[in-house]
Amino acid sequence: MAHVTALYRYPVKGLSAEPLPALGLSRTAGLAHDREYALALGTTAFDPQAPEPLDKGYFLMLRGNAPLAALATRFEPETGRLTIVQGGQDVLCEDLSTGPGREAVERFFEAYIGPAAKGRPRLVRADGHKFTDGSVISPAFMRAVSFVNLASVRALEERVGTPLDPLRFRANIYVDGLTPWAELDWVGQEIGIGTVRFRGLARTPRCAAVDVDPVTAARDTTLPRDLKRHFGHVDLGIYLEVLADGTVAAGDAVRMSSPVSGAA
- How confident is the prediction along the chain (264 residues), in pLDDT tens digits per residue? 899 999 999 999 999 999 999 999 999 999 999 999 999 999 999 999 999 999 999 999 999 999 999 999 999 999 999 999 999 999 999 999 999 999 999 999 999 999 999 999 999 999 999 999 999 999 999 999 999 999 999 999 999 999 999 999 999 999 999 999 999 999 999 999 999 999 999 999 999 999 999 999 999 999 999 999 999 999 999 999 999 999 999 999 999 875 434 433
Strands (E), the chain: 3-9, 18-19, 22-26, 30-31, 38-40, 71-76, 81-86, 89-95, 122-124, 145-149, 173-176, 190-193, 196-205, 235-244, 246-249, 254-256
Taking the C-alpha atoms of residue 17 and residue 69, their distance in angstroms, rounded to an integer, is 10
CA-wise closest residue to 81 among 60, 61, 97: 97
Type of residue found at 159: R
